[in-house]
Amino acid sequence: MFELDKIDRKILKILQKNARITNKELASQLGLSPPPTLERVKKLESAGFITGYSAVLDPIKINLATIMMVSVSLHHHSQDSINEMYRAVDSLDEILECYHVTGDYDFMLKVICSDIFQYEKFVREKLVKLNSLGKIKSSVVLSTLKKSNAYPIDDE
């Protein structure tokens, strides 16, 4: 693994904001020519700093405008229970994000549905079928004040 220099950090910042930027535009913003810029991006990809690229969709336009924050606790804290939860999270497309956390609950989920009725169906038909599931606490997201996938990267 290599250490990120100032240029690498700037590349990461720029690509987080616009992954569709052309290599020529990126090079221009860096003050480099395109060949070494492309070489640096490929090096960042192969070293695992950049793990992929994706399109950001408008959930309203695809009829998935209801976001739920769901706290889940397990009946038992065994490795089997945790593994069951990991498998379930991986297999349920409605779960956008999952965090194994400390505190009153064991997991925090970000779940997306078309409406509250679809969320109820998701809970009844999918989530509660987990044998290790204990308590569920759901909160409806009323509005999103900030949404970002960009990590804060220092230029230094």
Q: Is the pLDDT of residue 97 over 70?
A: yes
What is the C-alpha R_g of the chain?
A: 20
Q: What is the pLDDT of residues 39-93, one digit of tens each?
A: 999 999 999 999 999 999 999 999 999 999 999 999 988 899 999 999 999 999 9
pTM comes to 0.86
Residues 100 and 107: their CA atoms lie apart, in Å, by: 5
First to last CA, the chain: 18
Domain ranges across the chain = 6-46, 66-140
In one-letter notation, the amino acid at residue 28 is S
Residues 64 and 110: their CA atoms lie apart, in Å, by: 13
For the structural domain made of 6-46, what CATH number should be given? 1.10.10.10
Q: Using 50, 70 and 90 to split pLDDT, how confident is the model at 1? A: low
Residues 134 and 45: their CA atoms lie apart, in Å, by: 40
Q: What is the pLDDT of residue 57?
A: 93
Q: What is the pLDDT of residue 77?
A: 85
Is 3.30.70.920 the CATH number for 66-140?
yes
